[in-house]
Amino acid sequence: MEKRRSIEVGGVKHVNPIPSASRKGPFVASGAISGADPETGKVPADLDTQCRNMFGNVRRIVEAAGGSTGDILKMTVWISDRNLRETMNRYWVEMFPDPHSRPARHTIAQPDLAPPIQIQCDLFAVIGES
């Protein structure tokens, strides 16, 4: 069986020695994915930009692993306040427009995310063997 390999994506860097994601065979699992700007690594203050960046980072990670957003099976999203779902859902539908082909999602209110983070996620994807 193939070895596990780390997936690194610029701008989605952890402080600890953790890759952006890890792949073994067809399976890809990520660590926390924030709305950090991919150029600067900084998290902007406003939720709209955080959501745009977070979903962009999701796309970049799954593509770096050799797949596409269509390979994402499940995402878990942490938001600092449940009232932020409306903004997040706009980007969700933009990334996954087909209501008959969306990943499963679990959204958790987490009021103590490290400021300025208001939203973050992780993903699990199954990518065809290359």
pLDDT digits (tens, 9 = 90+) for 4-23: 999 999 777 777 889 999 99
Determine the distance from the C-alpha atom of residue 87 to the mean position of all C-alpha atoms in its chain, rounded to a whole number: 16
CA–CA gap between residue 126 and residue 7 (Å, rounded):
14
Task: List residues bridging with 28 in a β-sheet.
Answer: 23, 125
pLDDT digits (tens, 9 = 90+) for 65-78: 999 999 999 999 99
Q: Over range 102-107, report the average pLDDT.
A: 98
What is the maximal distance between C-alpha atoms in the chain? 45
Query: pLDDT grade, residue 2 (50/70/90)?
Result: confident
Is the full-model pTM beyond 0.85?
A: yes
| Percent of the chain clearing pLDDT 70 (strictly above) | 97
Output DSSP code: residue 112. Answer: T
